[in-house]
Amino acid sequence: MDDVRCVLKNVWGYDSFRPLQEQSIETILAGRDSLTVLPTGAGKSICFQAPALCNNGSRSDGRHSDGRHSDGRHSDGPRDQGLAVVVSPLISLMKDQVDALREKRVPAALINSTQNETEKREVAERIRRGELRLLYLAPERLLSPKTLGFLRQQQCVRYFAIDEAHCVSQWGHDFRPEYQQLKTLKQVFPEASVHAFTATASQPVRRDIARQLGLCEPSFLIGNFDRPNLTYRMIRSRQKMQQIMEVVNRHRGQSGIVYCLSRREVDTTTQALRTLGLKAKPYHAGLTAPQRKANQDSFMQGRCDIVVATIAFGMGIDKANIRFVIHTGMPKSVEHYQQESGRAGRDGLDAECVLLHSPRDFLIWSDVMHGEAGQVARDSLQAMFELCNDVKCRHKAIVEYFGQDYGVMRCGACDVCLGELELHDQSSDIARTVVACVQELKQKYGAGHVARVLAGKSDKRIFQSNHDRLNSFGALGDHGPMAIKVWIQQLISQKYLRRSGSYKTLAPTESGRRLLRGQGTPKLTATGRSKKSADGSVS
Ligand code: ADP
Ligand code: ZN
């Protein structure tokens, strides 16, 4: 690895590796397929860039000359170093990376649709001469018969790096059909290794990525997803503007992002912030490209403090000193939340992430997903709902979602551990009422039905099964079914209830039965809203 350390120092000026970078680079040098999962900002690019500038470890034939000057520049690049092909979904991302590499005098290039024939031919020429170390391409360009044929004929590809590899999985949150064809790479280039990189992949998605790409006995390198310098707060939305201002006021003059779920909300929120004298700019797909670019530049260069954006904003954003990220609604997956909130505090200093949510966000997403979304998308939405609503350390919940253990007892950096969460003063009574209802329904029904019975909804299904005659019917009639569903969720995560079977029917656990005898201290959140405004529209 001495070679890589030199490259890291000479090309990037860094003295040491960040977690997993060295291991990730080793798998590439050894020519073993791999999947590296590291959070955004952890430094994935160097993992696939640096090996392109080193000798191939698997060809350790004692030759030392690698044609590099001691300052890391390359001379006439010996062919046996080969070419690293990087697949990336966004032209802007590729361009940023290639520009940055060229500044470091690394022979890198990209081929994309915006180039003319001369430019493309020039890149091909450099590949032919064996000069190029890194080539960036969008998947559809790489997989065109012409490109594949050319690279095949040149016999120069040492490895492929697939950036944003979750795009290959239909189960992921950003599926791109053109990524699925990448599995032909292992067939067309059996001698080249394939290395997948992503910031966001739960365990099933990880396995799916490896399968979809046809990785051969891959090594899985999974980074740590905890961001200890971020303080998470997940708050029920009430008066959103007022709640946003509370956060903004804690960070006057500092950089922040406000994520909204719709363009319209972006526009109204930007306007409201401006009226209050704040330097805010909107960012969403409805703006023209030059407008978007101008607003992004203004934020990057510190001329405006706040960007109000849809999730269109952020891919590739590398601004280190973002001090707060606010979500005005619940994102559709924990992956999205981790990535978007993760743009705060990249410099390692404290930053705050506030998520304003309402059970209604869940319904909106469910509607959007209706029909077309797969089970994984729905599970991920459910996990996001649980993350917002459970009375459980947010750091722990996020880290565990990504399949890791979280050893810390009290993180000291989330609303739950800081004791800020508003709990219902009648938690035990409500909990007992809910558990009693589950028992009365003989454990044959799911959360939705239980909630409607407790809320006293007189719908067809309830009439047909005579559930309007149960003792529990309307027992929590002051609350809407969505609020009750949130409590049911909290009782599940606190293990007073459990879900079972494919119908997800509810049943009391042993602790649940003890609760009916007056034991246990369940913690339910205060809903803080009257029945009408919060849940009136839901039945
Ligand atoms: P990712 O692709 O995982 O989101 P990047 O590759 O964009 O992250 O890296 C994020 C930032 O961290 C970049 O500015 C990069 O130069 C820097 N970085 C990467 N590796 C190191 C390192 N070993 N030491 C210091 N800084 C690093
Ligand atoms: Zn915590």
pLDDT in tens, 248-297: 999 999 999 999 999 999 999 999 999 999 999 999 989 999 999 999 99
Of 74-78, 362-366, 453-457, which has the strongest mean pLDDT? 453-457
Range scoring the smallest mean pLDDT among 56-60, 392-396, 432-436 = 56-60
Instruction: Give the model's pLDDT for residue 372.
Output: 65
For residue 165 and ligand 1, the question of a CB distance below 6 A is answered with no
Distance 413 CA to ligand 2 centre (A): 6
Tell me the ipTM for this assembly: 0.97
Say yes or no to pLDDT of 463 above 70: yes
Quote the tokens at residue 366: 């469910």
- Measuring CA to CA, which residue among 431, 440, 455 is closest to residue 516? 431
- Which protein residue's CA is at the shortest distance from atom 20 of ligand 1? 43
- According to the model, what pLDDT value does residue 202 have? 75
Question: What CA–CA distances, in Å, run from 160 to 32, 84, 132?
Answer: 11, 6, 14
- pLDDT confidence tier of residue 56, bands split at 50, 70 and 90: low
Is the Cβ atom of 318 under 6 angstroms away from ligand 1?
Answer: yes
Q: What's the rounded mean pLDDT across residues 485-489?
A: 95
Share of the chain above pLDDT 90, in %: 71
Q: What is residue 532's predicted lDDT score, i.e. its pLDDT?
A: 39
Confidence of residue 403 (pLDDT cuts 50, 70, 90): confident
Decide if pLDDT at 528 tops 60: no
State in Å: Cα 5 to ligand 1 middle.
15
104 lines ligand 1 (CB under 6 A): no
Torsional class of 486: left (φ above 0), alpha (ψ -120 to 50), beta (otherwise): alpha
Over range 208-221, report the average pLDDT.
95
- 476 or 174: which leads in pLDDT: 476
CA dihedral of 137, 170, 390, 236, whole degrees rounded to 10: 70
Which protein residue's CA is at the shortest distance from atom 5 of ligand 1?
Answer: 43
Q: State the pLDDT at residue 373.
A: 64
pLDDT band at 173 (very low <50, low <70, confident <90, very high): low
* Proximal ligand: closest to the CA of 21: 1
pLDDT category, 301, cuts 50, 70, 90? very high
Atom of ligand 1 nearest to the CA of 14: 24
Lowest mean pLDDT among 48-57, 327-336, 344-353, 518-527: 48-57
**Contact 14 CB / ligand 1 (< 6 Å):** yes
User: Does position 152 have pLDDT exceeding 80, yes or no?
Assistant: yes
Q: Which is nearest to 135 in space by CA: 152, 155, 113, 151?
A: 151
Rounded Cα gap, residues 361 and 358, in angstroms:
6
pLDDT reading at 156 higher than 70: yes
Nearest-atom index, ligand 1, CA of 45: 6
Give the residue among 305, 308, 311 at the shortest CA–CA distance from 331.
311
What is the 392 CA–ligand 2 centroid distance (Å)?
Answer: 7
Q: What percentage of the chain reaches a pLDDT higher than 70?
A: 91
Is it the case that residue 326 has pLDDT exceeding 60? yes
Q: What is the pLDDT of residue 187?
A: 94
Q: Is 59 in the pocket of ligand 1 (CB under 6 A)?
A: no
In tens, the pLDDT along 365-391 reads 988 887 666 777 788 899 999 999 999
Interval between CA 235 and ligand 2 midpoint (Å): 14
Q: What is the pLDDT of residue 57?
A: 52
Q: How far apart are CA 508 and CA 523, in angstroms?
A: 16
pLDDT at 1: 60
pLDDT for the residue numbered 72? 41
| Alpha carbon distances (Å) from 371 to 121, 263, 368, 374 | 46, 24, 9, 8
Q: Please name the residue whose Cα sits nearest to atom 15 of ligand 1.
A: 43
| Nearest atom of ligand 1 to the alpha carbon of 16 | 23
The mean-pLDDT minimum among 170-179, 330-339, 447-456 falls in: 170-179
* Alpha carbons 280 and 342: distance in angstroms, whole number: 20
3-state SS string for 2-38: HHHHHHHHHHHCCCCCCCCHHHHHHHHHCCCCEEEEC
How many angstroms is it from 178 CA to the middle of ligand 2? 40
232 C-alpha vs ligand 2 centroid, how far in Å?
A: 8
Atom of ligand 1 nearest to the CA of 199: 3
